[in-house]
Structure 1
Amino acid sequence: MADSSPLDNMLAQMERAREYVDIDDGIFERLKTPERTLTVSLPVRMDDGSVEVFEAYRCQFDSARGPFKGGIRYHPTVSKDEVSALAGWMTWKTALVDLPFGGAKGGIICEPKDLSEGEIEQLTRRYTEGIRRMIGPDIDIPAPDVNTNPRTMAWIMDTYSMYQGHAVPEVVTGKPPEIGGTDGRVEATGRGVSIVTEEIFDYLGTHVGDADVAIQGFGNVGSVTAQLLDERGANVVAVSDVGGAIYDPDGLDITDVLDYVDDNDGRLDGYEPAEEISNDELLTADVDALIPAAIENVITVDVAERMQADVVVEAANGPTTFDAASVLVDREIPVVPDILANAGGVIVSYLEWVQNSQQYSWEVGEVNRDLEDRLTMAFDEMLAAYEEKEIPDLRTAAYTIALERTANAHNLRGLFP
């Protein structure tokens, strides 16, 4: 499975976990297949007057536990298999942290850097029209993902609301606070990563303070994680983006790096106070914790065999291939799985959805406390399964909880008709 797709990886993870949980054969077969996937063609009039057609998807994986929930990404590598895997991971993620949601994912095949803001708005509104019959506050609630943000969600909300004839803020989460978003949502995924990083260090009998950390990816999740771990006393020695990585063995000045990126069109290249290294060198650096916070399949068997990190915290979805995960188990390098490590975003999305439904908002401190409570509870449940069932790795332990909860929901609801 060295060249396996994200979907292959997810299905293999499910099969491994099944050895440790009793699930009916018929229900397990249902868990392996999305309920539906929509492919849409999106004709968009470009700024130069030409018309370009983009392909996009929305996959709804499982709704046994509640409405579908999942992000929308804009990226050249988006594919049907990728959104299916991501929708599956969202299903297990919401089940693991015990939210009343199922899992979904969407994506548009495009290169956002090559599009103007106006073109991205038109693309977003056309996509919303294309999927609007399968989304809704009680059906499927999208959210931001790679290359999408609160402004993108505002356009989706507005387009959907125009068809309904009234404002429907609860149709998406991750919106600007001015139109129903919740303070703390933008930072939620990175905050969650920093929380579980601290938890795994405590479990291993060490402390995140003074730990050397490398973070692959310096977008929203990676940058927030770096900032919060820096505040907790960690030495963030390396960070990277698509153009490469920067490294300082004494610890980067994260505030200075953030300021530099803001003034450098979002890029790390040219940051002189640190040494430039490759992404491969970052992934195999001698650090206490490696946090992949970019895209899928970056930790391959080759990387896993050369890795020097003491622990991996998966801030990205599916960053470790199935075979690479087996190598890390054999090498006794613990991995906090993505379905727990990056669940902060969907937890606060749930809180935003609840607030919209109640037409009542909470202050950011309460939101952050709820996020930490839910994540630490899920972390403790994962550890309990890991130890009590003598499961070989944390990922499989997390999957046993998620699969069992989802399977129980299917069992209780039965099969229609």
Structure 2
Amino acid sequence: SRRYMQEMIPFVGPHTDIMGPDMGTNEQVMAWFMDTYSVYQGYAVSEIVTGKPVSIGGTEGRRESTGRGVVYLIERAMDLLKMDPTECTAIIQGFGNVGSVAALSLALKTGIKVVGISDATTAVYNPQGIDVKAAEQHVLKKGNLRAFDQGDRIDPNEMLVQKCDVLAPCAVDRVITEKNAGKLQCRILAEGANGPTTPEADKILDQRWTEVFVIPDILCNAGGVIVSYFEWVQGLQAFSWSETEVTDKLFRILEHSFSQVIRRAKAHKISHRMSAMATGVERVMKAKRTRGLFP
């Protein structure tokens, strides 16, 4: 990790490119990145990376931010569709930082019954419900879900097409394909991962827009990037926010973005993904037009 950061030093900087955590990294890796860059500069540069431990300039709530954002948007979608969470079920693919936080929040805060969870080693399905807290404790002790025994073992791809109200792919990309998009039995598809739906599958979901409410990844998993931005800002200011402040600011931004996406999709009769992308591109276009071309 340190060697990688050493090679990246010419290309990154607190006002150039800031590294953030993703699959295969954790707080320790981000701490090594920050320390390597700081040693090279000769002083501590906490704002060079995000996802650091709080003790060296990280922000409260960063690890949980993506999962919390996913759950907040699921709750907003359920409210819009007039769905009662206590009568709903959810399947979560992935049990890392995003999937585990999302599963725990859906079960313990929202009141949804989680009937399916999976990681890179196995998929567990139980129509009667899974004790997500027990699953979390199991992963903390064993490192994965392989030996977790609160349900039936099922093919990970088959789990995606089981009947549920909420399906949240929170792991790798391209898991919703043209082969299974037409078989999905969920009412809400919450894309917690980056690019979990292929373009071919997206065309099928467009045709099923009255059956499947899609929360696109550009919106659904934005919580992590938003709080990474908060961490960068706190680093520049050398001033820390409480977890309550961080979460409140996160939810306010997600609420505004969700409302924009839904409003535009209805007005122009386009998909939620197209609406989210159009909104983002339009912002960049307006800024570029205002700045002009130079030289």
TM-score by length of 2: 0.97
CA distance in 1 between counterparts of 2:40 and 2:14 reads 14
1:253 to 101, 107, 131: 131
1:369 maps to 2:248: yes
1:172 aligns with 2:49: yes
1:202-281 alignment to 2 at 5 Å? 202-231=79-108, 232-264=110-142, 266-281=143-158
Report the equivalent of 1:410: 288
The one-letter code of the counterpart of 2:89 is D
Q: Which residue is 1:379 aligned to?
A: 258
Residue correspondences, number: 292
Kept after mapping to 2: 8 A contact 1:315/1:342: yes
Unaligned runs of 5+ in 1: 1-123
Whole-angstrom CA distance in 1 between matches of 2:96 and 2:90: 16
2:27–2:53 Cα contact (<8 Å) kept: yes
SS in 1 for 2:146: coil
Equivalent-residue separation in structure 2 for 1:288 and 1:305 (angstroms): 16
More strand by share: 1
Deviation sequence 1:198-230 (CA, Å, 0-9, x none): 111111121333310001111110000000111
CA contact (8 A) 2:69 2:221 kept: yes
**Is the CA contact 2:131–2:150 (under 8 Å) kept in the aligned structure 1?**
no
Inter-partner Cα distance in structure 2 for 1:416 and 1:128: 32
1:409 to partner: Cα distance: 1.6
Establish whether residue 135 from structure 1 lines up as the match of residue 43 from structure 2. Answer: no
Aligned-residue CA RMSD (Å): 1.0
Query: Equivalents in 1 of 2:115, 2:10: separation in Å?
Result: 47
Alignment of 1:3-82 (within 5 A): none
Contact between 2:174 and 2:197, CA under 8 Å: does it hold in 1? yes
C-alpha distance after superposition, 1:52-93 (max 9, x if no partner): xxxxxxxxxxxxxxxxxxxxxxxxxxxxxxxxxxxxxxxxxx
Partner residue of 1:157?
Answer: 34
**Given the alignment, which residue of 343, 358, 377 partners 2:222?**
343
Mapped to 2, the partners of 1:162 and 1:414 lie a distance apart of 38
C-alpha separation in 1, matches of 2:6 and 2:80: 47
Paired residue secondary structure (2:29): helix
- Aligned residue number for residue 317 of structure 1: 194
Query: What is the Cα deviation at residue 334 of structure 1?
Result: 1.9
1:286 deviates by: 0.3
- In structure 2, stretches of 5+ residues that fail to align are none
Correspondent of 1:307 among 176, 179, 184: 184
Select the structure that is richer in helix.
Answer: 2
Kept after mapping to 2: 8 A contact 1:194/1:228: yes
Deviation at residue 279 of structure 1 after TM alignment: 0.6
1:297 paired residue number:
174
- Equivalent pair of 1:197/1:208 in contact (CA under 8 Å): no
| Shift, 1:416, TM fit | 2.6
Matched, 1:358 2:237: yes
* 8 Å contact from structure 1 (residues 347, 371) kept in 2: yes
**What is the CA deviation profile of residues 257-284 of structure 1, one whole-angstrom value per residue up to 9, with x for unaligned ones?**
11111121x2111222211111112110
What residue identity is the alignment partner of 1:257?
Answer: A
What SS class does the counterpart of residue 274 from structure 2 fall into? helix
Q: CA deviation at 1:129?
A: 1.4
After superposing on structure 2, the runs of 4+ consecutive aligned residues of structure 1 that deviate more than 6 Å are none
Q: Taking structure 1 as the reference length, what is the TM-score of the superposition?
A: 0.69
Aligned partner of residue 141 in structure 1, secondary structure:
coil
Deviation at 1:349, TM superposition (A): 0.9
User: 1:326-384 CA deviation, whole Å, 9 max, x = no partner?
Assistant: 11121221210001000000111111111111111111111111111111110001111
Aligned partner of residue 90 in structure 2, secondary structure:
strand
Q: Is contact 1:187-1:224 (8 Å) kept?
A: yes
Percent of residue pairs identical: 44
